Structures are given as C-alpha cells and as structure tokens.
Amino acid sequence: MHLFDHDTDFEMIDDQTSEGRLTDEWSINGNPNGGYLMAILLSAMLKRSDKKHPAIVTANFLARTLIDDARVHVESITQGSSFNRLQSRLLQDGREKVRAWGTFSPEGICYGDKRYETTEPPVAPLEDCIAIPEFGSYTLYKNMDVRLDPECAGWFQGQLSSTSVHKGWIRFKDDRPLDGLALVLMADAFPPPVLATHGPVAWVPTIEFSVNVRAVPRSKWLKAHFRSRFITCGLVEEDGELWDENGELVLISRQIAQFRQTT
C-alpha cells in the first residue's frame, strides 16, 4: 500500500463513522494540507457510494486541524441514476473541523460534447523546472515532486512577478497511480500563486475549496496551472487546472482563502 492510501484510509467503525489519525506526512508548516484533508473525507464517502467517480468535491474549512486522531461521519443526501450525493464531516475532540460534499457518478461514463475553449497552459520542460525541496515542517514535499516553471519561481530569491501565477509539474515521488483521490491532493499541493507577486506572506488559509474531476489521468506527471487575480476584503481566489501529458484536462478547481500579508 502506498503511503497516501495508508494515511487517507480511516477504519470504518459503523456504516457512518470512520476513525484514524491525521499524520505529519502531508503538512505545510506543521498544518495538515487542505487537499490531504479533503482526500480523507473523499475516501470515506467513496466507501459508501456505489458510484465511484468523484465528479465534484467541495469542502468548507471551519477550524484548524491538528496532527492527531480524528473521526469522520458520512451521510447520504441523495442517490439517483446519474449521481449520488454525500456529505462528510471531520471532527477532532468532538469539534467539527472540515465539512465536505461529494457528487459521484458511475466510472467510465462520459457523454455529451467535448469542447475546449482554451488549450493546456505552456509550461517549461520538466528538466528546466525547479523542484520545491523538502524542508522543515513542509513535509508535503517529502512525498510530492512539485516543480515550478522558472518563469514564476523568482520569489524564491526575492524577484517578484507581475502576475500571481504558479505553473509546473507534479507527481508522487513513490509513483503512486493517479486517480480522483490523488487529484484532490494535487489540486492543493502547489504554493499559493499570490506568493509569485508578494513573496512569502504570513498566511493564506483556505476557507472553501471545490474540485471538479473531469478525467482519469493517463500519465505519471501532471501539468498544473494556478492563478489568482483579485485580492479584496482580505480574501483571494485561486483558479486551477491539471492536465495530463496527453493534453487531457483532468481537473479544474476554485479555492477561496484568507490573505494575510503580515502577522
């Protein structure tokens, strides 16, 4: 079993409840990564849905989570011929920390027109990109191989960009196969794109995060593009795309976060 599967697979206690531990293998500055938390909630919902494609997953982050034991409660909302909808809640010490909603469709069923009104983003070749190193309490990068296009990596050395864009490549370092569960993590594994224009800031905590899985990747590496355009009222959005190496769009995402430039 790959580490990611071990760390997201909570033990079922009954039909609605699972228990496990948030590990320190997927953290940003000591805090469990939001994509990792969503993957735990998604994994629990998948166990209770007869439809296994996670078409849409949305989470609200209500309070800070800790590297500690946790419990997940899952409820069915509706079950239909095309979609199942479920809700899951992650609790620690009896307090709800994250709530997620999932819309699931049958695997292998894709119908209707296929039309792209944009193309995959231009990204520098893999060998020219800059790997984000594992350091300190940023353990996510011990397990994820994330490489930034040099065009948007200047903030590492204090050279800021004029646009809040992060793009590059991503995969698991242990070559875990890519699926919907993995995509949820990968959609939140790049640094916030506002760092490209502002440099390291005090905090960019996620408030709400929604992903739409469009296809199962057919490659080891994914090409990523994340952009923020508006900072107002202490909030910033992040729009994301993940593409496989065959030019197939596999995920789109929208994240709303707080923006705190100073402590």
What is the b/e burial string over 42-69, where b = at least 16 CB atoms within 10 angstroms of the residue's CB? Answer: bbbbbebbebebbbebbbebeeebebee
pTM: 0.95
Name the band, by pLDDT with cuts 50, 70 and 90, for residue 111.
Answer: low
Lowest mean per-residue pLDDT among 134-138, 140-144, 156-160, 166-170: 134-138
Per the prediction, the chain carries an average pLDDT of 94
Beta bridge partners of 75: 87
Q: If you count them, how many residues does the chain have?
A: 263
Compute the average pLDDT of residues 187-202. Answer: 90
% pLDDT > 90, the chain = 84
| Residue 202, pLDDT above cutoff 70 | no
What does the pLDDT look like over 31-70, one tens digit per residue?
Answer: 999 999 999 999 999 999 999 999 999 999 999 999 999 9
Structure confidence at residue 10 (pLDDT): 98
Question: What percent of the chain lies above the pLDDT cut of 70?
Answer: 97
Q: How far apart, in whole angstroms, are the C-alpha atoms of residue 201 and residue 181?
A: 29
List the domains of the chain with CATH numbers: 3-107+122-258 (2.40.160.210)
- Looking at residue 241, its pLDDT comes to 98
Phi and psi dihedrals of 142, rounded to 5? Answer: -75, -30
Is the confidence at residue 263, as pLDDT, over 60?
Answer: no
- The residue that leads in pLDDT, 261 or 130, is 130
Question: What would the pLDDT profile of 210-247 be if each residue is shown by its tens digit?
Answer: 999 999 999 999 999 999 999 999 999 999 999 999 99
Task: Let me know if 9 is exposed, middle or buried by CB neighbors in 10 A (0-12, 13-18, 19+).
Answer: middle
Which pLDDT score, from 0 to 100, does residue 113 have?
77
